[in-house]
Amino acid sequence: MKFIDEAKIEVIGGDGGNGCASFRREKFRPFGGPDGGDGGTGSSIFVVADRNVNTLVDFRYSKVHTGKHGEPGRGSDCYGKGAEDIYMRMPVGTLIIDDVNGEIIADLTEHGQTELLAKGGEGGWGNIHFKSSTNRAPRQKTEGKEGERRTLRLELKVLADVGLLGMPNAGKSTFITAVSNARPKIADYPFTTLHPNLGVVRVSHEKSFVVADIPGLIEGAAEGAGLGHQFLRHLARTGLLLHIVDLSSFEANIDPVKEAKALIKELEKYDEELLNKPRWLVLNKLDVLDEAERKKRVKDMIKRLAWKGPVFEISALNREGCQELINAIYLHLEEKRHAEHRAEETAMTEEARGISSIDPDDPRFKILED
């Protein structure tokens, strides 16, 4: 199935049914009272996050989604039937934005999460509601309200723990194939990868994390060169970036340091927050170099790049150094999750202490030390 990560749609809630103005007419009851029923409610449109859906392709070609109208009320105190609500399924990680005012309507981060997109119109009132001690034969009724109408922009940001950055042909797809269950297309030409690939990396039977491989970036991507930065949004939710660099090139006109600096500059142009994410340097394709040349190139790379973070030397093709990298990634992610959990517990405790009805010495609101 074709990977589509953005779309624009229009959602229109169903209109409510009109109320009815009628009177009870039976034999021997010539002046029966009002018996007009209410109109039914129009259908609302909801969105449901589904982990089994991985693309927005259905919404690229189906742009208008309209709810059904409620039935009108009838005589004999018959109320109109309300229309059934519509549930649209979208991938987990979809961001739904109002295209008119830029408001974020929903951020689908969990499987089964349900959000309202367009509310259906309420049904109109029948004349049964307007009778009073002074008005015994009301002829008033109200019409059903129109359903809510919205133009929405859908953006899919894949949910992954680790994102892979690098120039085209740096070996990102080979790496994700070596360490996970993903099987992207691999070939010896630039831009083999045309859309993001996700792979689950199993550290042990119960320990795993998700890696996202996006198409390679080139200099000028922020201005739209190559595939542009259209896929960089998929790295926004990651907790760690792996900057994969190909050190095996023997061509004089290719400088890996210059390429690495250009990629960092593109990140800076696109999003400062993405640039400030934890980033590790992964030097790939070192199996084609002899030991002396390998040490020389690695040392030169770190020195010229002025790199201060972690550095890993691997060969994705024969999986040399990959296991050590996987273990280090998992430890980093676990420490990050633990720190976030502790921060959340501390915030809840501080909030509880601010409530006067809670005893600050209550052991339930104390931070437990490890």
Is 285 annotated as contributing to ligand binding? yes
Is 168 annotated as contributing to ligand binding? yes
| Cα→Cα distances 100→107, 260, 272, 290, Å | 17, 38, 26, 59
Residue-wise DSSP of 195-247: S-EEEEEESSSS-EEEEEE-PPP-TTGGGT-TTTTTTGGGGTT-SEEEEEEE-
Is 292 annotated as contributing to ligand binding? no
Is 169 annotated as contributing to ligand binding? yes
- Look up residue 16 and give its two tokens: 């409510």
Report the C-alpha gap between 205 and 270 in whole angstroms: 38
Give the chain's length: 370
Is 195 annotated as contributing to ligand binding? yes
Is 108 annotated as contributing to ligand binding? no
Residue type present at position 231: F
Facing residues of 184 across strands?
Answer: none
Is 284 annotated as contributing to ligand binding? yes
Is 213 annotated as contributing to ligand binding? yes
Report the C-alpha gap between 308 and 329 in whole angstroms: 17
Report the C-alpha gap between 317 and 321 in whole angstroms: 11
Is 349 annotated as contributing to ligand binding? no
Is 19 annotated as contributing to ligand binding? no
For the chain, the first-to-last Cα distance in angstroms comes to: 48
Is 250 annotated as contributing to ligand binding? no
Is 192 annotated as contributing to ligand binding? yes
Is 246 annotated as contributing to ligand binding? no
Is 215 annotated as contributing to ligand binding? yes
Report the C-alpha gap between 230 and 249 in whole angstroms: 27
Is 171 annotated as contributing to ligand binding? yes
Is 216 annotated as contributing to ligand binding? yes
Report the C-alpha gap between 358 and 8 in whole angstroms: 49
Asked whether 249 and 264 are in contact (CB, 8 A), the reply is: no
State the pairing for strand pair 279-284/240-246: parallel
Report the C-alpha gap between 238 and 218 in whole angstroms: 21
Residue ranges for the binding site? Answer: 166-173, 191-195, 213-216, 284-287, 315-317
Residue ranges for the binding site for GTP? Answer: 166-173, 191-195, 213-216, 284-287, 315-317
Residue ranges for the binding site for Mg(2+)? Answer: 173, 193
